[in-house]
Amino acid sequence: MNFDRRQLLALLPLGFAGAIGFSFWKMLDRMSAGKFDPHDIGSPLVGKKVPAFSLPGLDGGQGIDTATLTAAAAKQPMVVNFFASWCIPCAEEADILGTLGAEGIPLWGIVYEDKPDTAKKYLDKYGNPYQRLALDIEGRVAIDWGVDGVPETFIIDRSGTVRWHKSGPLTDDSVRQELRPALRSVA
């Protein structure tokens, strides 16, 4: 069967629609299997060293900077969580973070674009699982980390390299299927 140019051009939209339909079907298949998170667009920082930064602590407490973070991670890989009091998904993951902190997983928090008073009220309400807390009031450090919204969670290995990233709230499934295996792989 020979197709002329006009017939081929007429079939082009059909091929395009088929490709879109196949992509949509694959996305739905991954969603039903729990392997697709439309909020997690990945992080350009994974596989790279922690960027240079220095942040003050909440309410005069110990702050967080690159040297302190990498020195602590050299002893034991750690979790860094960006959160804010105004963030509803942050409140949703608070219990999970509390469990991780109670288990002794090194967990440091960075308060993103928030006021110290409201951050303290949030921690009073939902608990404070963090070993250290810092304030990124202007959000500049979050930009260097590639944060595009909160909550976002990172795992830092013993060499000070970001090895895992989760955009959006941690869930029981994401902790079991992603965070814990990632921590084990860098331990």
Same domain flag for 75 and 28: no
The answer to whether residue 46 sits within a structural domain is: no
The answer to whether residue 48 sits within a structural domain is: no
Res 45: pLDDT: 86
Distance CA 173, CA 170 (A): 8
What CATH number is associated with residue 108? 3.40.30.10
Same domain flag for 18 and 71: no
Q: Which residues contact 84 (CB under 8 A, 6 or more apart)?
A: 90, 111, 112, 113, 114, 119, 122, 150
36: its two tokens: 């697709």
Same domain flag for 21 and 102: no
72: domain range?
54-186
Res 4: pLDDT: 75
pLDDT digits 0-9 by tens, 65-100:
999 999 999 999 999 999 999 999 999 999 999 999
**DSSP-derived pairing of the beta strands 107-112 and 78-83:** parallel
Q: Which residues pair with 179 in a beta bridge?
A: none
Q: What angle do CA 139, 142, 148 make, to 5 degrees?
A: 100
Same domain flag for 73 and 136: yes
Residue 58 banded pLDDT, cuts 50, 70, 90: very high
Same domain flag for 92 and 3: no
> Residues 12-38: what's their mean pLDDT?
61
pTM (2 d.p.): 0.79
Higher pLDDT, 111 or 24: 111
The answer to whether residue 137 sits within a structural domain is: yes
Same domain flag for 74 and 30: no
Same domain flag for 13 and 96: no
Q: Is residue 60 scored above 90 in pLDDT?
A: no
Overall domain count for the chain? 2
Same domain flag for 126 and 172: yes
